[in-house]
Amino acid sequence: MIRLLLSFLLILSSAATALARQTETLDTGKVTASIVSSLDSVQPGGTVWIALRTELDEGWHTYWQNPGDSGEPVQLSWTLPPGVEVGSIAWPLPYPIPTGPIVNYGFEGAPLFPVEMTIPAEVEIGETLSLKLDFYYLVCADICIPEEGQLTLELDVGEPESDPIWGPQIEAAVLESPRGGDITGAAEVSNNQLMLTFKNLPVGQVSEAYFFPFDQGVLGHSTPQNLRRGEAGIALTSAPEFLWTDGIAETVSGVLKYTLDGEVRSEVVSLATAMSLDIGAEQISGASIGLLAAAMGALLGGLILNLMPCVFPIISLKALSLAKTAHGDRAPARHSAWAYTFGVLVTFAVLAAILIALKAAGAQIGWGFQLQSPKVVGLLALLLFVIGLNLLGLFEIGTRLQGAGEGLVSRGGLSGSFFTGVLAVIVATPCTAPFMAGAVGYALAQPAMTTLIVFLALGLGFALPFLLLGYVPGLLAKLPKPGPWMETFQQVLAFPMLAAATWLVWVLILQVGANGTGLLLIAFLLAALAIWLLRLQSAVMKGLAVIAALGAIALPLSLTAGSQAVQSATLNSEAWSPERVAELRAEGRPVFVDFTAAWCVTCKVNEQLVLKTDRTKALFEKTNTAFLVADWTNRDVQIAAELERYGRAGVPLYLAFPANHDDVKGLVLPQTLTFSILEGTLG
């Protein structure tokens, strides 16, 4: 019993000693504060770390030394015995806090704010030092409240003795506080864009990076910092702020936060202004795939693209032409396969060249950009409508129109095969197959030659099945022999062609509204009239047919984009904007963003199978998830820039911002969406 009592008294004595190096806690409203020490006693002439410990209510935050777009930093004012010297705060590593359209830098939870104190050598052992602190902080959530307080810590002078509770915690906080190192940096403004370049980083794969400047006016805090990795360093692009026009110093300093091989690191970096560092060629990494990986992804994506519904009406034409030559001389089949492949490759090369030229001119565009033009959608719908009529046998046109008529189907000529390849590529762009997104996104961020190589790899994968059919006799032999069935099959193929034309009409409704769609239907009528007039022998009738055909072509060319928003049939949605995302996140709500387009078949499949379901509606209501739609049906520079920020060149893109997600950037979900993915992310 005596031993038990002595042990209990020893525990109480130890606890009292430890607690003597921590002040009482002071509740200032939304924060409870105290002063803690790394040492229970400090020797004369020694140093000790003293920290303000703040424990914030859930959902509230305080600010870093540069608070960002608004706010005030934590402020400490010490009253110390004579001779005691105090250093500056060893600031914790902050993180971006989006609040509405602005971004702040700060902390949540229970951050420590340590300072190092040096004790004068002349103090005597056994003396007690009173360390008085007046502190102030602005604590914010939906509103901001200034809070302040005063605390005094009594610290013994004697043999140095580490505090068993706060010593390790303060030591860890000091070690994690960003300090200077080997990284060198530079900052330069060009074409109203701020480029920050960094070299001498540790060896490894950098997956994320963010720069927190010490001073206001260096960069736009609410502007995304886009990362580019080079073989010798990294670069961040953002927007310059007022210091660049008012006269910036020769150097600017701040903290570079980066993730290296999955580990978050930070370092204080001084950047020389008005210059940039050569970071070398684009680096292969998990987030930024290299040329070989991109080309392989594009090749596989091209193969899978043949299975997508938007391509079926066209490639079925090629299958019909191969069936007609399957049991004869192999040479025509091979020549036809190569002509089709050449048509595919030429079209992909032209698309790449147009994208490269428009990107160089500053346009924000991506995969499927041509279908953002109502003129192209209208002309393509008209072409598929005419081909459908031809497949039904309603008219026959000579070989001069093989690219868009009967020659595509029944003649089997090389020009017909070539233009079948051209048309297949044009109608394939509404679909994004697996493996394609990263490859195309990577390609559009690279130099022109790399972009071209990736697009040609995509084209080769797309054409490969028919190219193999021309060289594998066993495959061709399995096709039925030519016969009367082909005429029936040809007529059956008219219906997927007309269905594709109908789908494009629906896309046009979303782009230009009812009036514009009415013009396209008139174009259909004129095309049908031209076909009927061409069957008459009169020269006058043939002249009228030409006029009708020209009118049919002219009407789609007169279409201009309107403003039509994609809405969900079962989910309450609203239009996407970066500001709205920030506002909803500031409210503590999870956010799901659907980057979509009316012409994107993959998007529509995901909508019908996953998004427009009762289960998803219930999940969003249960988790209070806000559903935002970024509609890219018509060209939108802001949406294109956001896609590029996430390394994508086209839609779909699905972003999730769960309630506990602190990063400025969202979680990128797979393009093949499932309910379990949504539930695992948001539930």
| pLDDT tens digits, 500-549 | 677 777 767 766 766 667 777 888 888 888 878 777 777 787 788 788 77
**Backbone φ/ψ region at 204: left (φ over 0), alpha (ψ -120 to 50), beta:** left
Query: For residue range 618-676, what is the model confidence (pLDDT) as tens digits?
Result: 899 899 999 999 988 777 778 887 887 777 767 788 999 988 777 778 888 887 788 88
- What are the residue ranges of CATH 2.60.40.1250 in the chain? 15-176
Average pLDDT, the chain: 78
Q: What share of the chain is helix, strand, coil (3-state, %, to 5)?
A: 40, 25, 35
Inter-residue long-range contacts of 617-620, CB under 8 Å, 24+ positions, other chains counted: 617/570, 617/571, 619/675, 619/678, 619/679, 619/682, 619/683, 620/571, 620/592, 620/682
Checking if the pLDDT of 578 tops 80, the result is: yes
List, in order, residues 6 or more apart from 516 with CB less than 8 Å away. 374, 508, 559, 560, 562
Instruction: Give the Cα separation of 59 and 589 in Å (integer).
Output: 12
Q: How many residues does the chain have?
A: 683
At residue 402, the pLDDT reads 34
Per-residue H/E/C for 423-459: HHHHHHCCCCCCCHHHHHHHHHCCCHHHHHHHHHHHH
522 within 8 A of 555, measured Cβ to Cβ: yes
Instruction: Give the Cα separation of 397 and 559 in Å (integer).
Output: 28
Instruction: Give the Cα separation of 291 and 159 in Å (integer).
Output: 62
List, in order, residues 6 or more apart from 132 with CB less than 8 Å away. 78, 79, 80, 150, 151, 152
Token duo for residue 254: 């701040």
Q: Is 96 helix (H, G, I), strand (E, B) or coil?
A: strand
Query: For residue range 461-508, what is the model confidence (pLDDT) as tens digits?
Result: 888 887 777 676 555 555 555 556 556 766 766 776 777 677 777 767
Read off the amino acid at residue 585. R
Checking if the pLDDT of 6 tops 50, the result is: no
At residue 178, the pLDDT reads 93
Instruction: Give the Cα separation of 627 and 624 in Å (integer).
Output: 9
Instruction: Give the Cα separation of 112 and 37 in Å (integer).
Output: 11
User: What is the rounded average pLDDT of the residues 202-217?
Assistant: 87
At residue 569, the pLDDT reads 42
At residue 565, the pLDDT reads 41
Checking if the pLDDT of 13 tops 70, the result is: no
Instruction: Give the Cα separation of 649 and 369 in Å (integer).
Output: 10
At residue 406, the pLDDT reads 39
Pairing of strands 31-37, 144-157: unpaired
High-pLDDT (> 90) share of the chain, %: 26
Read off the amino acid at residue 360. A
385 within 8 A of 527, measured Cβ to Cβ: yes
Residue 39 sits at φ, ψ, to 5 deg, of: -125, 145
Which CATH code fits 573-682? Answer: 3.40.30.10
At residue 664, the pLDDT reads 74
H or E stretch at 235: strand 233-238
Instruction: Give the Cα separation of 578 and 565 in Å (integer).
Output: 17
Token duo for residue 181: 């190192």
- What are the residue ranges of CATH 3.40.30.10 in the chain? 573-682
Instruction: Give the Cα separation of 195 and 239 in Å (integer).
Output: 8
Instruction: Give the Cα separation of 657 and 75 in Å (integer).
Output: 32
175 within 8 A of 114, measured Cβ to Cβ: no
Instruction: Give the Cα separation of 676 and 639 in Å (integer).
Output: 27
Q: Kindly report the CA angle at 185 between 179 and 188, in degrees rounded to 5? A: 135
Query: For residue range 396-408, what is the model confidence (pLDDT) as tens digits?
Result: 544 333 333 334 4
At residue 489, the pLDDT reads 62
Query: For residue range 235-250, what is the model confidence (pLDDT) as tens digits?
Result: 999 989 988 887 788 9
List, in order, residues 6 or more apart from 498 with CB less than 8 Å away. 384, 385, 388
Instruction: Give the Cα separation of 192 and 240 in Å (integer).
Output: 7
Pairing of strands 95-99, 26-27: unpaired
Checking if the pLDDT of 102 tops 50, the result is: yes
Instruction: Give the Cα separation of 66 and 323 in Å (integer).
Output: 70
- CATH of the structural domain 15-176, one choice from 2.40.260.10, 1.10.287.1080, 2.60.40.1260, 2.60.40.1250: 2.60.40.1250
Query: For residue range 580-627, what is the model confidence (pLDDT) as tens digits?
Result: 888 888 888 999 999 988 767 677 778 878 888 888 988 998 999 999
Token duo for residue 624: 């209070």
H or E stretch at 174: helix 166-176
The residue behind tokens 């001084």 is: 270
Give helix then strand counts, H and E, for the chain: 18, 25
Higher-confidence residue of 306 and 320: namely 306
Reported confidence tier of residue 92, pLDDT bands at 50, 70, 90: very high
Tell me, rounded to whole angstroms, the distance of Cα 260 from its chain centroid.
Answer: 20
- Tell me which of 109-123, 371-385, 651-665 is least confident: 371-385
At residue 481, the pLDDT reads 55
Checking if the pLDDT of 113 tops 90, the result is: yes
Tell me, rounded to whole angstroms, the distance of Cα 289 from its chain centroid.
Answer: 15
Instruction: Give the Cα separation of 207 and 599 in Å (integer).
Output: 32
Rg (CA), the chain: 34
Which CATH code fits 184-273? Answer: 2.60.40
176 within 8 A of 93, measured Cβ to Cβ: yes
